[in-house]
A and B are shown apart, each in its own frame.
Chain A
Amino acid sequence: EAQVTQNPRYLITVTGKKLTVTCSQNMNHEYMSWYRQDPGLGLRQIYYSMNVEVTDKGDVPEGYKVSRKEKRNFPLILESPSPNQTSLYFCASKGNVMGEKLFFGSGTQLSVL
């Protein structure tokens, strides 16, 4: 089954404790992206990657890092989480042709205390 898999589903942590949210896709997609979703706001792009070893900032990259060492994986790293990073995070992927559908993972609910 074609899917984007994120882990963990829920995460509670404390300020300053480094964490990683993993994302994996099995569709051989070149493009992968991370979004955060906050009440009253649309999905906002954090980082995206056009292919292996190619990453770029989205609209809200501050406080986040990503890496793309393999085509299927695109982890999101919070080196020093802060309470304003409490949010619902989604990973997504698609092929590298304009107009291809964006497939989303099920989300990771992060709470930073």
Chain B
Amino acid sequence: GESVGLHLPTLSVQEGDNSIINCAYSNSASDYFIWYKQESGKGPQFIIDIRSNMDKRQGQRVTVLLNKTVKHLSLQIAATQPGDSAVYFCAENSNFNKFYFGSGTKLNVKP
């Protein structure tokens, strides 16, 4: 079946540094990926998405990179701020009805 996984359960960065959160997936036919942010006590919130016909997509302070050769995607957060502290999930949605989520990386931003 599908599987989506994150590489590190916890990542600590200094405020102002860049953060990189990684994710791997198993299905080479996957064509749509999403990153979510989940703050404590809240539901996941959409951050950015990318389709398999792209290698890179940029948003405000965030960039998602997709490497289809090794089935890997990453979320880069520039100039990490305390408000970025949260759990980050990648998800795959190639089957319209189903989303497959990774287990999450907890990002700790140190002042």
Contacts and interface: CB of A to CB of B under 8 A. Distances in A.
Are A and B co-members of a single complex? yes
Interface of A: 4, 31, 33, 35, 40-45, 48, 50, 56, 58-59, 90, 92, 98-99, 101-107
B42 to A, nearest CB: 6
Contacts of B51: 99
Given A102-B46, A102-B93, 19 more contacts: A33-B99, A40-B103, A42-B102, A43-B89, A43-B101, A45-B98, A48-B97, A56-B97, A59-B98, A90-B43, A98-B93, A98-B96, A99-B32, A101-B49, A103-B46, A104-B44, A104-B45, A105-B43, A107-B42
Nearest to A9: B41
Q: For the side of the interface on B, what is the size category?
A: 20 to 34
A105 B49 CA distance: 20
Contact of A104 (B43, B100, B102, B103): B43
Given A40-B103, A42-B4, A42-B102, A4 B43 contact: yes
Nearest to B90: A42
Contacts, number: 56
A58 B104 contact: no
A45 B43 CA distance: 15
